[in-house]
Amino acid sequence: MARYENSYEYETVLVGAGLTVGIVMSRFNQDVCEGLLAACTTELKHLGVAECAIEIATVPGALEIPLVLQTMAQSDRYDALIALGAVIRGDTYHFEVVSNDSCRAVMEVQLDTGIPVANGILTCEDDDQALARMQVKGSDCARTAVEMANLLRVIGERPS
């Protein structure tokens, strides 16, 4: 049911069949990142993305994620991308730099290429917070990637 009588509203579609999804995962804070990845790939398969249509690249840390995302986006092989990482606060300013710059660069990739990127780079105060969030965030990124890929496809196909 439409919320507005004379407006078109796009439906939320969480069907992953036929989609190809690329994932870039940081190896820094590996236990958390592996948890993010497990939750993400499980949800992608649950939504119908074929296992052979999920491609995973790993990088040393969160700051390396955007370059690989950009390369994947420019290949025109993916319907959506997912960034997975964990930045955990330490005793230095480095936390802010990595958190802010990785987030900004991930956003730039999707805006510059038109390929949706679900940002699953956790920014947490401590290990316990990261471990508590990894399952939910990993699954959420899978749903976001599938939803956005479908939405952009439908927007592109809708006649004026």
Q: Which residues are catalytic?
A: 94
b (16+ CB within 10 A) / e for 64-79? bbbebbbebbeeeebb
- Tell me the C-alpha to C-alpha distance, in Å, between residue 154 and each of 10, 71, 130, 157: 8, 24, 35, 5
Residues 55 and 22 sit within 8 Å (Cβ to Cβ)? yes
At residue 94, what are phi and psi to the nearest 5 degrees? -55, -35
Question: What tokens does 33 get?
Answer: 């990142």
Q: In what order do the strands lie in the sheet containing 21-26?
A: 54-59, 21-26, 80-88, 117-124
Question: What tokens does 60 get?
Answer: 């040393």
Residues 6+ apart with CB under 8 A from 67: none
